[in-house]
């Protein structure tokens, strides 16, 4: 019975890794679509959201079967509850990547009102945060998870810079306001992705220590 349970836990573990790869790809592609104004790539990200959603349902089902059919001890229960929490944040990351992609499609035929500088920087940090949180889960690496949490301040700093720059542009020319709002919304989505990456890192720490670390 224990061997079967361990096998099911291993399947769950691998499913989380697979979902992590899906959201990593979604963020990378939506960022590339934004910088290159690539409609087809943006649409690919939007279409991939259904795959991510289906993966979330699959993992939730695996968790519920483990809870209902087995009687997990405390450590195993932490693994299952961690998986349930992590897939929620992963799914939201996928949603926000798709939201950015949708705005990319809208902006694709427009000339950017300013050179994209801080947004790609912000995107790079959030991509690294998501990757590191998944790597921390795979390697049961508390230090790596803690590094992810620390990077959140950098994301917040970049968001403030982007917001300030775009507000200055609107003050200079009110007609730039619509695109400025869209770019600010994109930056906000990246900020939220960073927040979800922090959540993932916190759940990794919980799965190892049994303590849920909050900022």
Structural domain boundaries in the chain:
2-209
Contact 86, 203 (CB under 8 A): yes
- Give the C-alpha separation, 85 to 89, whole Å: 7
Which CATH superfamily hosts domain 2-209?
Phosphate transport system protein phou homolog 2; domain 2 (1.20.58.220)
Cβ distance 113 to 182 under 8 Å? no
State how far the Cα of 120 lies from the Cα of 143, in Å rounded to an integer.
26
Least confident of 5-9, 60-64, 125-129: 5-9
Task: Find where tokens 């690496």 sit.
Answer: 141
Q: State the pLDDT at residue 214.
A: 57
pTM of the complete model: 0.92
Q: Is residue 24 over pLDDT 60?
A: yes
Residues 6+ apart with CB under 8 A from 157: none
Which has the closest alpha carbon to 104: 132, 127, 123, 128? 123
Average pLDDT over residues 83-105: 96
As a whole number of angstroms, the distance between CA 72 and CA 82 comes to 13
Predicted pLDDT of residue 6:
82
Q: Give the pLDDT of residue 164.
A: 94
Query: pLDDT digit string (tens) for 137-159?
Result: 999 999 999 999 999 999 999 99
d(CA 82, CA 102): 30
- pLDDT of residue 69 exceeding 90, the answer is no
- Residue 174 pLDDT > 70: yes
* Helical (H) or strand (E) element with 173: none
pLDDT above 70: residue 2: no
pLDDT at 1: 56
Q: Which two tokens stand for residue 173?
A: 């020319």
């Amino acid at each position: 019975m224990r061997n079967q349970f361990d096998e099911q836990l291993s399947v769950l573990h691998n499913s989380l890794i697979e979902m992590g790869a899906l959201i990593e790809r979604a963020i990378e592609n939506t960022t590339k679509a934004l910088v290159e104004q690539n409609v087809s790539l943006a649409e690919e990200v939007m279409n991939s959201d259904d795959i991510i959603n289906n993966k979330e349902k699959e993992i939730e089902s695996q968790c519920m079967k483990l809870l209902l059919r087995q009687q997990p001890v405390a450590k195993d229960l932490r693994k299952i509850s961690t998986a349930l929490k992590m897939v929620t944040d992963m799914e939201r990351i996928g949603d926000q990547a798709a939201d950015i992609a949708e705005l990319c499609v809208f902006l694709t035929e427009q000339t950017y009102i300013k050179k994209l500088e801080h947004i790609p920087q912000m995107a790079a940090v959030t991509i690294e945060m998501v990757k590191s949180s998944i790597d921390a889960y795979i390697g049961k690496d508390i230090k790596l998870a803690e590094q992810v949490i620390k990077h959140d301040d950098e994301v917040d700093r970049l968001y403030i810079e982007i917001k300030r720059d775009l507000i200055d542009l609107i003050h200079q020319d009110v007609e730039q306001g619509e695109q400025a709002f869209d770019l600010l919304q994109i930056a906000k989505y990246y900020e939220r992705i960073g927040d979800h990456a922090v959540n993932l890192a916190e759940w990794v720490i919980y799965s190892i220590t049994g303590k849920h670390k909050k900022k």
